[in-house]
């Protein structure tokens, strides 16, 4: 018998219906479709407009899709790990709210905050729980309602982000597939360049923080771009060298969707052709913790048992990392 590993055995996703296109943004701020497309690769993004709806309302249907496709009861879920920077509330954890909404009464759960690398971090933690042998079914969900922390008068950030959720089910695999390795990194000195200034214990909300627009994403785009381009490519290459992989061995790259130019730099560095890269940034923009699972969701029916997949991300923190998966199933789920 092969080593027990944690494998993704199903993927679910949720995207709100409302589209915010580059043409819409042209009417809101001083920008053009041409600028946004050439600088970022984004054409449109989805926005959660439903009154009273929060991140948990996107995560819940993404997980329910998994339950439906796998025909399992929510009571079978052992744990929900929710990666997000836009929790429903500061506390309790959005994972707890999701458990309540889907009826996962036997699950414990917690949120994990690692910005755009959140899904990779959560996947690694969830895999550890499976590998311990103590838990059978772990849900890892990446979800962000970025529209709740974006200033739609700031052209440098409002063009980038969108809302969405992607979830995976992790189960044990003894056939040689699953999460083989991951390299995760962080450098907190990057916090000055990408953060939300107020709302935490450093600067609790006041009338002044609201007037100063300190509850929105603050990003020094050019600076973050420089680190993202090298960070995501370097860590992917490091992971591949560690596992004796070359570009020829890789079937798919599932990169964080922050900027098409960052994705392209990673693709070039690891030496794989364009058709092996999962890209949906043009449709959904940067959904922070949801980008990678939304790629897996969209590509699920094309993935085959034993496919070598590299996941890679870079984001606020700074946090960054890459994971190496051997895909564990051929999907024949009909419901999408």
The minimum distance between CB 226 and ligand UT7, in angstroms, equals 8
How remote is the C-alpha of 169 from its chain's centroid? 14
The minimum distance between CB 311 and ligand UT7, in angstroms, equals 14
Residues between 292 and 331 that touch ligand UT7 (CB under 6 A): 314-315
Q: Which of 82, 116, 158, 295 is catalytic?
A: 116
Pick one of 107, 182, 224, 325: the residue that binds ligand UT7 (CB under 6 A).
Answer: 224
> Judged by CB under 6 A, does residue 259 bind ligand UT7?
yes
Token pair 């693709």 is at which residue? Answer: 267
> Judged by CB under 6 A, does residue 221 bind ligand UT7?
yes
Q: Is 256 a catalytic residue?
A: yes
Token pair 């048992």 is at which residue? Answer: 305
Binding segment (CB under 6 A) for ligand UT7, from list 96-104, 217-225, 292-300, 327-335: 217-225
Q: Is 308 a catalytic residue?
A: no
Pick one of 26, 35, 53, 214: the residue that binds ligand UT7 (CB under 6 A).
Answer: 35
Alpha-carbon gap, residue 182 to 122, rounded angstroms: 11
At residue 270, φ and ψ (nearest 5 deg) are: -90, -5
The minimum distance between CB 131 and ligand UT7, in angstroms, equals 29
Q: Length of the chain, please? A: 336
Binding segment (CB under 6 A) for ligand UT7, from list 5-13, 153-161, 270-278, 322-330: 153-161
The minimum distance between CB 255 and ligand UT7, in angstroms, equals 11
Pick one of 27, 134, 207, 222: the residue that binds ligand UT7 (CB under 6 A).
Answer: 222
> Judged by CB under 6 A, does residue 87 bind ligand UT7?
no
Alpha-carbon gap, residue 310 to 235, rounded angstroms: 11
> Judged by CB under 6 A, does residue 92 bind ligand UT7?
no
Furthest C-alpha separation in the chain: 62
Of 224 and 322, which CB lies nearer to ligand UT7 in the complex structure?
224
The minimum distance between CB 258 and ligand UT7, in angstroms, equals 3
> Judged by CB under 6 A, does residue 190 bind ligand UT7?
no
Helix axes 118-131, 291-299, angle to 10 degrees: 70
Q: What is the DSSP letter of 4?
A: P
Structure tokens at 201: 């214990």
- Kind and range of the H or E run holding 322: strand 319-326
Q: Is 116 a catalytic residue?
A: yes
The minimum distance between CB 182 and ligand UT7, in angstroms, equals 19
Alpha-carbon gap, residue 235 to 316, rounded angstroms: 16
Alpha-carbon gap, residue 283 to 281, rounded angstroms: 5
85-14-88 Cα angle (round to 5): 35
> Judged by CB under 6 A, does residue 230 bind ligand UT7?
no
Q: What is the DSSP letter of 161?
A: B
Alpha-carbon gap, residue 23 to 26, rounded angstroms: 5
> Judged by CB under 6 A, does residue 9 bind ligand UT7?
no
Q: Which of 177, 259, 286, 295 is catalytic?
A: 286
Alpha-carbon gap, residue 82 to 110, rounded angstroms: 6
Which stretches of 32-91 are assigned E, i.e. beta strand?
44-46, 79-83
Distances in Å between the alpha carbon of 130 and those of 84, 97, 291, 326?
Answer: 21, 23, 23, 16
Which amino acids are annotated catalytic?
A: 116, 256, 286
In the complex, the residues that contact ligand UT7 under the rule CB under 6 A are: 31, 35, 39-40, 116, 155-156, 159-160, 221-222, 224-225, 228, 258-259, 262, 286, 314-315
């Amino acid at each position: 018998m092969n080593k027990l590993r944690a494998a993704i055995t199903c993927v679910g996703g949720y995207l709100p219906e409302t589209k915010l296109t580059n043409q819409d943004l042209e009417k809101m701020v001083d920008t053009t479709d041409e600028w946004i497309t050439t600088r970022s690769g984004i054409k449109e993004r989805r926005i959660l407009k439903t009154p009273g709806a929060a991140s948990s309302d996107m995560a819940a249907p993404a997980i329910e899709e998994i339950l439906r496709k796998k025909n399992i009861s929510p009571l079978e879920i052992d744990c929900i790990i929710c990666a997000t920077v836009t929790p429903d509330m500061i506390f309790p954890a959005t994972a707890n709210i999701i458990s309540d909404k889907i009826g996962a009464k036997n699950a414990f759960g917690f949120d994990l905050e690692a910005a755009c690398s959140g899904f990779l971090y959560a996947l690694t933690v969830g895999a550890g729980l499976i590998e311990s042998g103590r838990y059978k079914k772990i849900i890892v969900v990446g979800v962000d309602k970025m529209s709740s922390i974006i200033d739609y008068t700031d052209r440098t950030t409002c063009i980038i982000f969108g809302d969405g959720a992607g979830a995976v089910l992790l189960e044990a695999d003894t056939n040689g597939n699953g999460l083989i390795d991951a390299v995760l990194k962080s450098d907190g000195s990057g916090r000055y360049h990408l953060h939300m200034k107020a709302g935490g214990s450093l600067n609790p909300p006041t009338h002044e923080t609201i007037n100063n627009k300190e509850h929105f994403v603050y990003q020094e785009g050019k600076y973050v771009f420089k680190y993202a381009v090298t960070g995501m490519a370097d860590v992917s290459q490091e992971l591949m060298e560690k596992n004796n992989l070359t570009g020829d061995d890789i079937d798919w790259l599932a990169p964080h969707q922050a900027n098409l130019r960052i994705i392209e730099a990673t693709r070039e560095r690891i030496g794989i052709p364009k058709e092996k890269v999962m890209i949906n940034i043009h449709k959904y923009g940067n959904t922070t913790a949801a980008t990678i699972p939304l790629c897996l969701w969209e590509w699920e029916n094309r993935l085959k048992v034993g496919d070598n997949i590299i996941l890679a991300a870079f984001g606020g923190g700074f946090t960054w990392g890459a994971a190496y998966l051997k895909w564990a199933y051929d999907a024949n789920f009909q419901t999408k």
